[in-house]
A = this chain, B = another copy of it.
Amino acid sequence: MSAAIRLTPLRGVPLVAPGDDLAALLAAAAERAGISLRDGALVVCQKVVSKAEGRVVALAEVEPGPEARRIAAEEEKDPRQVELVLRESARLVRRGHGVLIAETRHGFVCANAGIDLSNAPGEDMAVLLPEDPDASARRLRDALAPRDARLGVIVSDTFGRPWREGLVDVALGCAGMAPIRDARGESDLSGRELQVTTTATADQLAAAAGLLMDKAAGIPAVWIEGVAIEGDAPLRSILRDPSNDLFR
């Protein structure tokens, strides 16, 4: 991890609809850009993954229950959206100022359980997170390269953070790479064992790709070369065990 890193946007991916072969669309875009999807990481925006997987709901078909109606009234939100948030969540972590912070059934803590109304194919559609983003990444990765090729695939989304304004992209799922780099046992320049033990490589890659994922320009994937692609573990392996979490 010491030479230069290059990030290239994948352009010209058409609007994705349920049932589309996303891997084929990404492979075609890579080929047009002269990119060989080897020895690097492909970061793919969650929204196109969800759309291809059919994780799209017409708000008109959502019947909000009493809890969704109560919360929607208090937070001045669309009760149908709140109903979807509750369905997708294990629990609400915080709410207030019109914001619902939910823990999704996957274990992600984010606004509105990651449900997005913007960029949906039609006026009143909601895009849900993939059912299993690690499995989504695995399917894309295995469709794009043989098992022995060094190709990491990350499914990313933009999340807000506590304490800081502004969204930053994080990894929701990955395949073909370890989401974390463990530096325990390595020494620093003075020979002292490093205290900083683990770096969340998948989240660093997602954040870097976010610099190019301009929604207005329709760039749903970014290719990253110059990073070491090592190991293979699901992203869910870096979600902190609740018993070690000081922010539950």
Contact = CB atoms under 8 A, between A and B. Distances in A.
A218 B189 CA distance: 7
B158 A196 contact: yes
Interface string A167-184: 111100000000111010
A216 B15 contact: no
B247 A94 contact: yes
A211 B219 contact: no
A9 interface: yes
A1 interface: yes
Interface stretch (A65-73, A112-120, A140-148): A112-120
B227 A97 contact: no
Interface stretch (A20-28, A83-91, A129-137, A198-206): A198-206
A180 B166 contact: yes
A201 B116 CA distance: 21
- 5 A-B pairs with the lowest CB-CB distances in the bound complex, closest first: A166-B200, A208-B208, A207-B207, A162-B247, A94-B246
Given A189-B15, A195-B117, A212 B165 contact: no
Most chain B CB within a 10 A radius of its CB, from A121, A123, A162, A227: A162
A207 B168 CA distance: 9
Number of copies: 2
Most chain B beta carbons < 10 A, residue from A201, A214, A219, A246: A246
Interface string A4-48: 111111010001000000000000000000000000000000000
A168 B211 contact: no
Nearest to A109: B163
Contacts of A121: 190
A234 interface: no
Contacts of A7: 4-7, 208, 226
A183 B163 CA distance: 20
